[in-house]
Structure 1
């Protein structure tokens, strides 16, 4: 997910501002420390110009688990 953000030309601050969250929240999403909910995932995909199935999370949270 970090690669998608960087490839799209965004910093943590840019994404945090656009989504109304903190930089640390975006960082936790990227490292798999916090679950990335579907509505936010859709916003990120739109922002980064990628398809949802192309988002990969580093870390321990399986994004498909409920």
Structure 2
């Protein structure tokens, strides 16, 4: 569930970027917020895959007992 919440923060940043673009905010600010959005989403997805992998390994070890 925590991964969905963190991904939600990334989506919220995306919506914020679109809103700020309509207000003609500086391009640098838009670029920085977009970069933060991408970093959050990439880390979230990476940690989700790692969590699935570790959970899978633990499940296999438990089944082999």
TM bucket (normalised to shorter chain) is under 0.3
Give the TM-score taking structure 2 as reference length: 0.23
Q: Greater helix share, 1 or 2?
A: 2
Bigger Rg, which one: 2
TM-score where L is the length of structure 1:
0.23
